[in-house]
Amino acid sequence: MSKLKKNLIVAAVLVAGFAAAFGSYLLFSPEDRRSAGMDVRPAAKPLPVRESSHRLTDPKKSELTLVEFLDFECEACGAYFPAVEQLREEYGDRVTFVARYFPMPGHRNGDLAARTAEAAARQGKFEEMYNKLFTTQKEWGESQESKKSVFRGYAKALGLDMNRFDADLTDPKVAARIQEDQRDGLGLGVQGTPTFFLDGERIDNPATYKAFKALLDNKLAD
């Protein structure tokens, strides 16, 4: 298969994925979040990115920062995942890509998935778990039963210390770390996932990979 043909196929898949994303973009009112037990208190000074935020790229000279508030169980986030990965591959030496937690009410395993990623982060495996959760989303997402055993299997496959992983999964500090991201998101007006911020400014979700790429190119050219 030629490189051009492969790229065209990738582009077609991304466009289809983005269409699915727009169809499943989740919006919740503060009342919805309260009823689901979600911490609705905004941060005193909400920030799109903090020193503690998980950076998927860390270029020596970052020219731009793209932040995504995400839910690992969100189908829209899953649809955008390949585009973000392709952008990372193309711009990772110039753009800092940041992932922040925003598990949504109504997703049975969204918060558990976030805690799984954070527990992996404590062992230096955030990016690996981030990739694993998104690439397997169709296998565990939208389930009404806990997928803890599935996530433990991912942790084991990544070579994590399982005693430490299990302890971190229920550590209040891990939950607090996720809530910190949620509070920042709420303070910045995030109501659904995925929500992107480009150099601190919230952007509308691009409809295609080409549109997403153009946003970065335009900013980088400023």
Separation of CA 210 from chain center: 20
pLDDT 10s digits, 79-129: 999 999 999 999 999 999 999 999 998 898 999 999 999 999 999 999 999
Per-residue pLDDT band at 138 (split at 50, 70, 90):
very high
Helical pair 148-157 and 162-169, crossing angle rounded to 10 deg:
140
CATH of the domain at 91: 3.40.30.10
Strand partners, 198: 66, 201
Q: Above 70 in pLDDT, residue 40?
A: no
φ, ψ for residue 63, nearest 5 deg: -100, -10
Q: How far apart are CA 68 and CA 192, in angstroms?
A: 11
Residue 15 has what pLDDT?
Answer: 46
- Report cis status (omega within 30 of 0) of the bond before 105: no
Tens-digit pLDDT profile for residues 181-216: 999 999 999 999 999 999 999 999 999 999 999 999
How many domains does the chain divide into? 1
What domain range is 144 assigned to?
A: 3-221
